[in-house]
Amino acid sequence: DYLASSRAVSKMHLEPATAAVVESYIAPCDLRLGEHEVKKGSWVIAVKVGDEELWERIRSGEYGGFSVGGLAERTPEEVGAEG
């Protein structure tokens, strides 16, 4: 539910992109994804790109990676009486 309601993808942090994070996990062990070796503990995300022009720019190597950022809001927790 978090990914469905909180994800946002943009091109170069400037303009919204027709793309969505569809998977996010910490690699539980060393593994291989396509031609890439992934070490245990690495953060892995999968993004579905719905814009053909953007996908071609990614495939050509013009966009070679991701910059991941986020925002959070702190909310104090209520402390209940112990006992």
Query: Which of 45, 70, 44, 57 has its CA nearest to residue 17?
Result: 57
What's the pLDDT at 81? Answer: 64
What's the pLDDT at 22? Answer: 84
pTM, 2 dp: 0.62
Query: Which of 6, 4, 10 has its CA nearest to residue 49?
Result: 10
27-59 pLDDT per residue, tens: 999 999 999 999 999 999 888 888 899 899 989
